[in-house]
Each structure stands twice: as C-alpha cells, then as structure tokens.
Structure 1
C-alpha cells in the first residue's frame, strides 16, 4: 500500500522481496535448505533488548510523542514474545505501573467445577489482553473492538 500511495522506492524493494519469498524465488542455504535472507532485507540484533533499543531509541524521552511512535513497530509471531517485549518496554518507562486484571468468573454456577479460576487466568488467547495486564501511566496502548 505504501508503495502505491507514496511511491516509496524502499517499500517497493521490500515488497518485491516478500513476493519473491512467496513465489519460491529465494536462494536456499546449500546445507540446510533454509531460506537465505538477502543482506539488505533486515538488520539482525543479538537480543530483545537490542531490538527494543534499535526500534525505540531514547524511548524515555519520546514515549509520549505520538508522531514518533506511529513510525515504529515490533511484530512477533507468538503472544509470549509480544508479552515479554511489552513487559521490557513498560519497565523502561519513567512512570508508575498499574495492573489491570480480567474478570475470571463463570456465568453459570453449574460450570464452576469445569472452569477453575486458575485455568481461566492461564488462558492467553489471540486478540485478547493477558489476564494481568500491566501498563505504565502515560504509555500508549491500542484498543480494538471484537
């Protein structure tokens, strides 16, 4: 979309690389037969802390600047990784943390034995926040309607 709307040459090159992945036109490693990423595809970092610092440099000074934040994102495939990165980012913010817990009761009293509170609290469903959502005052969040 950015390629068409803004005529961005970097976005065009990236979208072509993604299409090459999809169409099987990417060179494979000889030994492992795994995809070999082009050198200009991404920047590799050694740790999650290094990733956070590379995407959100000087976060403490900029976390309330919405224009600055709109240009940054970290995508992850698993909720556990998302939660860990979010926790590390929240811990670095210079404000107090507040905990928000989900409702963990069963509507039908007959079902209380089938769905113990511990089980309900352990669920980590895609598209829903964790049972114990910890946020710092002033930190940006994204809300959506289900």
Structure 2
C-alpha cells in the first residue's frame, strides 16, 4: 500500500486549520480574544475577524456565500457526505429564508408548501375576545427564534435540520440533519445523515410548538 506525502501534508494542514478555527471560536466564547474600539468609541467591544475567514462582498452576497460554501452544488447535491459536512449559519431567520429560496431553485422537482396553524394559547391571557384582537393573518407574520416560519417550501432531496427533540431513540434530536425523501400531505419522510443513526428513514409529523417569548 502506498501513501502520497503531499496528500498526507494536505490532510494535516487541513486538520490544523480546523483546530485553529475551533480554538478561535472557543476563545471568543471565553472572552479572551482581544477587542478593539471603533473611532469615537471608548469601550472596546469589537472583534476583528481574520481575513482568511471573510468572504469579500459582491453584487449578490447570497450567491457568493452559497457558491463559497457549496461549490458545484447542482452536481453534488445528491452526495450525502458533501451535504453533511457543510452548513450556512446566520443570526436572522430572514437571511435563512433568502438562502433557502436561492438554493431551492437548483434542486429538481416540484415545490411543496407547508403552512403553520397559528393561534394564541388560551392559557396565556385572560383578555376576552383575544382572537379578534390578534388575527390569524397577523400571527402568521410573526417570527421567533427556534420556531419555523408560517410558510415552508420543500422539495424531495433537500437537506433539513430538526429544531426539536422528536424521538431521541431514533436519533431525531435538535440539530439532527436529514435529507427529505418524500413529502406527504400531513407528514414528511426523511433519511438521517448525521449522528449515530445515519441512513435511518424516519417520519416527521406535525408538531405543536410554542415560542419562549410569551409576550
């Protein structure tokens, strides 16, 4: 059996790069990364991101970050290893929606639309006729961290991520990543691609979710 020295050095450099990034992220969380103050500011609250971690802005920033994270997406979208080792994280649901809509156009097949059934918890308020005060159309526009938007568009073959613990025995936990294999009217079939249950097909039912922001 023969090994390429260049390949071995490349793999080592890649691991070292990942370890450096991991340490940098942990240092940010620990507050040990040196902070700076912008012109006119006294308190040092800004952290400089290393240039090698930045994607230079272009005319279409969504296209830029997608092509940088998912090169050759149209050719590789059926590759499970390719999909599970990549992810785009954003601080706002609005940006998540933009990225999802952009990438969905490159996945073949028809889109399925899933709508949430939004209502006010009857135990959360003693105000009479609250249904008349908070119309369903208004509730549908609200967005909360950790809660899917009122409308979700999916196609068979797209990667998704669970936001709740559904069935830990089957590996359906918060953060589990899956590939959609079938879109039903009331249920979604998907194949797990991360964790200890890789390859297992599971069913994702309708789930009742409540935001932590009660107000």
TM-score interval, normalised by the smaller of the two chains: 0.7 to 0.9
Q: Counterpart in 2 of 1:64?
A: 78
C-alpha contact (below 8 Å) 1:56/1:72 kept by paired residues? yes
Deviation of residue 118 (structure 1)? Answer: 1.2
Matched, 1:48 2:62: yes
Q: Which runs of 5+ in 2 are unaligned?
A: 1-14, 123-127, 166-215
| Structure 1, unaligned runs of 5 or more | 1-7
The residue that corresponds to 1:18 in the other structure is: 25
1:130 to 149, 168, 184: 149
Query: Whole-Å Cα distance in 2 between the matches of residues 120 and 37 of structure 1?
Result: 38
Alpha-carbon separation, structure 2, partners of 1:143 and 1:20: 28
Larger-Rg structure: 2
Contact 1:93 1:136 in 2 (8 A): yes
Q: Are 2:111 and 2:153, in contact at CA under 8 Å, matched by a contact in 1? A: yes
Decide whether aligned partners of structure 1 residues 25 and 68 sit closer, same or farther in structure 2, where only a CA change above 3 A counts.
Answer: same
Match of 2:131 among 102, 106, 112: 112
3-state secondary structure, aligned to 1:57: coil
How many pairs were matched up?
140
Contact kept, 8 Å, 2:109 with 2:156, in 1: the verdict is yes
The corresponding residue for 2:186 is none
Specify which of 137, 140, 143 is matched with residue 159 of structure 2.
Answer: 140
Higher relative contact order (CA 8 A, sep 6+): 1
Write the distance in 1 (CA, Å) between the matches of 2:23 and 2:40: 24
Kindly indicate which of the two structures has a greater share of residues assigned to strand: 2
Q: Tell me the equivalent position of 2:16.
A: 9
SS state of the match for residue 97, structure 2? helix
Distance 1:71 1:116 in 2: 42
Partner in structure 1 of residue 89 of structure 2? 75
**Preserved contact between residue 59 and residue 93 of structure 1 (Cα < 8 Å):** no
**Deviations along 1:80-127, whole A, 9 cap, x unmatched?**
111111111112222211110001345759432132011110111111
Q: Is the 8 A contact 1:63 1:140 kept in 2?
A: no
Bigger share in helix: 1
Report the Cα distance in structure 2 between the residues aligned to 1:144 and 1:37, rounded to whole angstroms. Answer: 28
